[in-house]
């Protein structure tokens, strides 16, 4: 009967966090069996996984020695793909939310519409603005942190920036709603409120 290893032991053997070891299992990169409510990995599966992920001396040689363009390891490719998927998911979400606000914004000039008139324009703009300013730290810090293992500080910062940039469709919609809210504002105070919020977004964009 094969010897099964629990996730903590797998993580210790690979010198990674339990979270990362669990990612490999769930992604199918590390074959496992679900026993007793937990994932288990055989010694043979772990050895094969390590063998596939090994970097040869030729691959790890300094620039100018050995191959000039070493192929990334299986582990790095897996992590890179997960990061790309995360950024793409952020962009799709931002696009869907932007479209939703654009549809609602189309009713601003319709008499009797939910967001008709100055107050409706202000409410819609504030809603979009607040969603965007809450999403920025959530995506760029809290969620991006889950995908930056193995990255240098510079690389992690760049990845965080890419995730935030993926929210651009929503940011652009907020700008358009701000224009409309300022245009329909009935007092200088209302216009000033819109412009103050707009400047906050531009300051961190």
Rg (CA), the chain: 24
Q: How far is CA 22 from CA 16, 36, 50, 101, in A?
A: 10, 16, 15, 37
Average pLDDT score over the chain: 80
- pLDDT(63) > 60: no
The whole-number average pLDDT for the span 54-81 is: 54
Report yes or no on 63 lying in a domain: no
Count how many domains the chain has: 2
In 3D space, the residue among 1, 32, 28, 27 whose CA is nearest the CA of residue 9 turns out to be 32
24 is in which domain, residue-wise? 4-54
Q: Are 178 and 125 in contact (CB under 8 A)?
A: yes
Report yes or no on 165 lying in a domain: yes
Task: List pLDDT tens digits, range 28-62.
Answer: 778 888 887 788 999 888 888 877 665 444 444 44
- pLDDT(147) > 80: yes
Same domain, 104 and 26: no
Report yes or no on 200 lying in a domain: yes
- pLDDT(146) > 50: yes
Strands (DSSP E) contained in the chain are: 4-6, 33-35, 38-42
Same domain, 47 and 105: no
Task: List pLDDT tens digits, range 96-119.
Answer: 999 999 988 876 656 666 667 888
Most confident of 15-24, 71-80, 120-129: 120-129
Task: Provide the β-strand partners of residue 42.
Answer: 4
Q: What is the separation of C-alpha 173 from the centre of its chain, rounded to a whole number of angstroms?
A: 20
In 3D space, the residue among 140, 139, 159 whose CA is nearest the CA of residue 149 turns out to be 159
| pTM for the predicted model, two decimal places | 0.60
- Those residues whose C-beta lies under 8 Å from the C-beta of residue 149, and which sit 6 or more positions away, are 16, 17, 19, 20, 79
Same domain, 44 and 104: no
Same domain, 174 and 117: yes
CATH number at residue 10: 1.10.1660.10
Predicted local distance difference test score (pLDDT) of residue 64 = 44
Same domain, 113 and 83: yes
- pLDDT(171) > 70: yes
* DSSP letters for 79-121: HHHHHHHHHHHHHHHHHHHHHHHHHHHTTTTSTT-TT-HHHHH
Predicted local distance difference test score (pLDDT) of residue 112 = 63
Predicted local distance difference test score (pLDDT) of residue 128 = 93
């Amino acid at each position: 009967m094969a010897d099964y290893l629990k996730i903590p032991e797998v993580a210790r053997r690979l010198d990674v966090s339990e979270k990362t070891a669990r990612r490999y299992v769930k992604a199918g990169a590390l074959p496992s069996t679900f026993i007793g409510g937990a994932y288990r990995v055989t010694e043979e599966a772990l050895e094969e996984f390590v063998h596939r992920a090994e970097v040869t001396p030729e691959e790890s040689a300094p620039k100018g020695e050995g191959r000039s363009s070493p192929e990334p390891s299986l582990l790095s490719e897996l992590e890179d793909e997960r990061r790309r998927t995360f950024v793409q998911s952020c962009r799709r979400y931002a696009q869907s939310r932007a479209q939703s606000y654009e549809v609602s914004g189309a009713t601003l000039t319709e008499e009797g519409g939910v967001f008709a008139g100055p107050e409706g324009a202000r409410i819609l703009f504030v809603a979009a603005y607040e969603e965007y300013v809450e999403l920025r730290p959530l995506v760029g810090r809290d969620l991006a942190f889950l995908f930056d293992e193995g990255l240098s500080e510079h690389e992690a910062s760049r990845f965080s920036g890419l995730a935030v940039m993926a929210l651009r469709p929503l940011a652009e919609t907020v700008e358009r709603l701000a224009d409309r809210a300022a245009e329909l504002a009935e007092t200088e105070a209302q216009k000033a409120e819109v412009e103050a919020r707009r400047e906050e977004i531009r300051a961190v964009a």
